[in-house]
């Protein structure tokens, strides 16, 4: 019985140290996230996207944020923003959809090459003000989810290698 407990604890310790994070570019240690350009009339979105990207890079920890001499840099432009009605019943609106079109460029400054670029990256999310089963209850909730998905998309197409 002691042997089984020791094996279980050993496996638990080993499994806790395992990480699914990987990097296809081990020479990249630092990043600079350039200020987000916003070509829409939703002016608050620029700061929300920038702050979300910075926060997510800090939480992720694979790249250290720096202001000078970065190994790589991220450029982000917001090209379009829409918030449209998706469904309604009678005179009430049931669901909206927020869509944000991005232009993203991730550049390896050490090798002077673009690692990933997407000039038409669309992220969208739905929300409902009235449906209690809806995951997102406001436009701001949908925007926050979009910025989180944006970071995940950037990481999957840059540092992660599967």
Give CA separation, 22 vs 85, 87, 119, 152, in Å.
Answer: 40, 41, 25, 14
Say how far apart CA 104 and CA 113 lie, in whole Å.
14
pLDDT above 90 for 1: no
Of 9 and 47, the one with more pLDDT = 47
pLDDT at 60: 96
pLDDT above 70 for 14: no
pLDDT above 90 for 30: yes
pLDDT above 60 for 42: yes
Of 146 and 88, the one with more pLDDT = 146
Average pLDDT of the chain, as a whole number = 88
pLDDT at 90: 83
Give CA separation, 161 vs 89, 98, 140, in Å.
Answer: 45, 30, 32
Against a cut of 0.85, is the pTM above it? Answer: no
Q: Which CATH class is domain 24-157?
A: alpha beta
pLDDT above 90 for 144: yes
- Length of the chain in terms of residues written: 162
């Amino acid at each position: 019985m002691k042997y089984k407990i020791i094996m279980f604890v050993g496996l638990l310790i080993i499994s806790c140290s395992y990480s699914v994070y990987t990097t296809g570019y081990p020479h990249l240690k630092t990043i600079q996230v350039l200020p987000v350009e916003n070509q829409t009339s939703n002016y608050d979105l620029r700061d929300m996207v920038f702050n979300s990207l910075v926060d997510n890079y800090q939480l992720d920890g694979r790249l250290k944020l720096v202001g000078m001499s970065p190994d790589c840099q991220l450029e982000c432009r917001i090209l379009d923003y829409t918030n449209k009605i998706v469904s309604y019943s009678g005179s009430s609106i049931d669901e909206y959809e927020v869509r944000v079109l991005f232009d993203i460029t991730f550049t390896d400054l050490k090798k002077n090459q673009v690692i990933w670029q997407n000039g038409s990256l669309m992220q969208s999310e739905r929300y409902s003000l009235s449906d209690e089963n809806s995951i997102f209850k406001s436009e701001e909730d949908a925007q926050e989810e979009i910025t989180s998905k944006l970071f995940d998309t950037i990481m999957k197409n840059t540092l992660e290698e599967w």
